[in-house]
Each structure stands twice: as structure tokens, then as C-alpha cells.
């Protein structure tokens, strides 16, 4: 029996069931173990004040290390750049749509929102990118699951919200007024759209079962994006983005990334290509380029010397 730990949210359970179904299709017996994390228990509070995105994964990882579960399923964008010793990313299934979606109450696109309109998001990245594109807008803090944020939109708490396309698709939610934002301009978060399947590094039986779920191209993209994140020493309060794609056939990986000020007044963008087999090196090199251009003066970063892994 493979015990899979997951958050209790609707989206987290859907993602965990995808992994469970894939394992069952290969003959494994699987049991889901829903866990209420600290991040879920404090859904209205600021993540930065509480301790960052790790609040969504810490208790599940502790259960994994203690042997109370065998696998943990997360959204990769919720995982800190460094995993606890003894844990590894055993599988990264094929990535879903990594882009962001602006959902408005009146059907307006980002460029059409009225001056002073309120856009709801608690993501520093999304805040900075909205203000970089439209400094005349207001960005209001907004946390909660997808249904909660859409309900607040309809109640008039804001004029638009920004959500992940992958989350909407996995939940089967299709808002009436949605604009998919261009990933080259509105660069997605590190790991957005990727399900992370975590296991103990010494659990050979489970690692063998999970190996078939791993997607090679998705892993290369994740490695480049997370290497960029590690090199910068960024926190959940750092407005940054990194999104990699791999050209099928050539194996060339393209990484686009940015670091911004909180108010969107300063945005440093960069792009680098390299072989997918050198994904981590590409991520570190692009981070170094942005650091050389002053990224650490724009955002709260603690660069890791030498790009330590």
C-alpha cells in the first residue's frame, strides 16, 4: 500500500487523485491521506508574515520523513527551493498550462480595466506585474481557494482576480470573463502548473513505482526554474518569475525570468537558452545575469554563493 499525503483543498485532492490513479493503473494499491496544513488553517493571513509558502507543505513533509505516509503530492510552486534532507522530487508528471488568467467581473481585459480598478491577488509576482503594466490600478490582498476568490470577485470585493490556468482547468472551472495572460510578458511563477511528487530518498520501492510518472521535459523545465530560484535566495515575498520551455526535437531549453520591485516600478527581465541536459546551469547563469544587473537592489533576495543546490 502506497500512502499519499495531500492538503485537503479541492485542488490538492484532485492533483493527488491524478497521481493515485496513475499508480493504480500500474497495479499499485494506494490510499489518500488528507492533511490540514498550517497554511490552510490561516487562510486569511499573509504568507510572508506566517513564514512563507512552506506552511502548505511542512507538516506533510514531516509525516513523510516520519514514515506515516510514503508519498507527498504538492503544487510545485508551493515547494521552497531547498527540500529537507532525506526527501526528493521522485516524479514530475507532464506540466499543465503554466499561464495566469485574469478573471474580471464586467468582462474587461487587463488593459481595459478602469483607472483605479482593484485587482485581487496576494502574490508579490502578480502584484508587481499588474502594476508594471497598469500603474493606475489598485492591487488588493486576496487569499483563499479558487471558489473563495471568485466569490469575493462577484461580491464586489475587487474588480478582477488573477488565478492559475492549471488550477481552473483541473477544477473544471470556466469563468465567463477570463483573459489568459501571455507567458512571455506575464511570466508565470516558478513551477506553476506542475504537480510535485515527493518521496524519501532511501525508499527504493516507492521511487521505483513513481519513476514511470516522471516527464523528462517537465523535469528539465522545473530544474531550470528552481535553480534560478535557489541561486537568488528568494523568499515568498520576492517578486520574481521564471518559466522554461523545451523545443521538442532540438532539446533546446529557453528560460525567461524576471525580478521586480514590489510596486512594479522596476522590472529586470532576462532570457537564456541552453540544452535541456544543462537545465540547472541555465537557471543559475540567468540568475547571475540578473544579479549583475542589480536584481538584489530591486527585491528582497539572499543570493546563494556559487548557486548551491
Q: What is the 3-state secondary structure (H, E, C) of the chain?
A: CEEEEEECCHHHHHHHHHHHHHHHHCCCCEEEEEECCHHHHCCCCCHHHHCCHHHHCHHHHHHHHCCCCCEEEEEHHHCCCCCCCCEEEEECCCCCCCCEEEEECCCCCHHHCCCCCEEECCCHHHHHHHHHHCCCCEEECCCCCHHHHHHHHHCCCCCEEEEEHHHHHHHCCCCCCEEECCCCCCCCCCCCCCEEEEEECCCHHHHHHHHHHCCHHHHHHHHHHHHHHHHHCECCCCCEEEEEEECCCCCEEEEEEEEECCCCCCEEEEEEEEEHHHHHHHHHHHHHHHHHCCHHHHCCECCCHHHCC
Q: Residue 160: what pLDDT?
A: 97
- Average pLDDT of the chain, as a whole number: 93
Among the residue ranges 41-55, 158-172, 185-199, 224-238, the one predicted with the least confidence is 41-55
Q: Residue 199: what pLDDT?
A: 98
Q: What's the pTM value of the predicted model, to 2 decimals?
A: 0.92
Stretch 119-145: mean pLDDT, rounded? 96
More confident residue, 309 or 182: 182
Stretch 37-47: mean pLDDT, rounded? 55
Whether 159 and 180 have beta carbons less than 8 Å apart is answered as no
Among residues 78, 100, 159, 203, the one annotated as catalytic is: 78
Side-chain half-sphere exposure of 128, counting CA atoms within 13 A? 25
Stretch 113-132: mean pLDDT, rounded? 97
Cell of 91: 516524479
Say what percent of the chain tops pLDDT 90.
86
Task: Please check whether the two domains, 2-93+194-214 and 223-307, share a CATH topology.
Answer: no
Stretch 154-181: mean pLDDT, rounded? 96
Sign of the CA dihedral with 31 first, then 222, 168, and 94 last: negative
Structurally, at CATH architecture level, domain 223-307 sits in 2-Layer Sandwich (3.30)
Is 248's pLDDT higher than 80?
yes
- Residues in Cβ contact with 90 at an 8 Å cutoff, skipping those fewer than 6 apart: 71, 197, 198, 199, 206, 207, 210, 211, 214
pLDDT band of 307, cuts 50, 70, 90: very low
Rounded CA separation 91/15 (Å): 13
pLDDT band of 304, cuts 50, 70, 90: confident
Q: Tell me whether residue 214 is one of the annotated catalytic residues.
A: no
Which CATH number is associated with domain 100-180?
3.40.190.10
Q: Residue 217: what pLDDT?
A: 97
Domain ranges of the chain: 2-93+194-214, 100-180, 223-307
pLDDT, one tens digit per residue, over 225-245 is 999 999 999 888 899 999 999
Domain spanning 2-93+194-214: which CATH class is it, in words?
A: alpha beta
pLDDT band of 274, cuts 50, 70, 90: very high
pLDDT band of 308, cuts 50, 70, 90: very low
pLDDT, one tens digit per residue, over 14-31 is 999 999 999 999 999 999
pLDDT, one tens digit per residue, over 170-193 is 999 999 899 999 999 999 999 999
Amino acid at each position: 500500500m502506497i500512502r499519499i499525503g495531500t492538503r485537503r483543498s479541492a485542488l490538492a485532492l484532485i492533483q493527488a487523485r491524478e497521481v493515485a490513479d496513475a499508480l493504480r493503473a500500474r497495479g499499485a494499491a494506494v490510499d489518500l491521506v488528507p492533511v490540514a496544513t498550517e497554511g490552510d488553517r490561516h487562510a486569511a493571513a499573509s504568507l510572508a508574515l506566517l513564514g512563507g509558502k512552506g506552511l502548505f507543505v511542512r507538516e506533510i513533509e514531516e509525516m513523510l520523513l516520519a514514515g506515516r505516509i510514503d508519498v507527498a503530492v504538492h503544487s510545485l510552486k508551493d515547494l521552497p527551493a531547498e527540500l529537507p534532507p532525506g526527501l526528493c522530487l521522485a516524479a514530475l508528471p507532464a506540466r499543465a498550462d503554466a499561464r495566469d488568467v485574469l478573471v474580471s467581473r464586467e468582462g474587461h481585459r487587463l488593459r481595459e480595466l478602469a483607472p483605479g480598478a482593484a485587482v485581487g491577488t496576494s502574490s508579490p509576482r502578480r502584484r508587481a506585474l499588474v502594476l508594471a503594466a497598469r500603474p493606475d490600478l489598485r492591487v488588493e490582498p486576496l487569499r483563499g481557494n479558487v471558489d473563495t476568490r471568485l466569490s469575493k470577485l462577484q461580491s464586489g470585493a475587487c474588480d478582477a482576480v488573477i488565478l492559475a490556468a492549471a488550477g481552473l482547468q483541473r477544477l473544471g472551472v470556466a469563468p465567463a470573463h477570463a483573459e489568459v495572460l501571455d507567458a512571455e510578458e506575464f511570466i508565470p511563477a516558478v513551477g506553476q502548473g506542475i504537480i510535485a511528487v515527493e518521496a524519501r530518498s532511501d525508499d527504493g520501492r516507492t521511487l521505483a513505482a513513481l519513476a514511470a510518472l516522471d516527464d523528462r521535459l517537465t523535469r528539465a523545465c522545473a530544474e531550470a526554474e528552481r535553480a534560478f530560484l535557489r541561486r537568488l535566495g528568494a523568499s515568498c515575498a520576492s517578486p520574481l518569475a521564471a518559466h522554461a520551455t523545451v523545443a521538442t526535437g532540438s532539446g533546446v531549453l529557453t528560460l525567461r525570468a524576471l525580478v521586480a520591485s514590489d510596486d512594479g516600478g522596476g522590472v529586470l527581465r532576462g532570457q537564456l537558452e541552453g540544452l535541456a541536459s544543462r537545465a540547472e546551469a541555465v537557471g543559475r547563469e540567468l540568475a547571475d545575469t540578473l544579479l549583475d544587473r542589480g536584481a538584489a537592489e530591486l527585491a528582497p533576495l539572499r543570493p546563494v554563493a556559487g548557486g548551491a543546490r
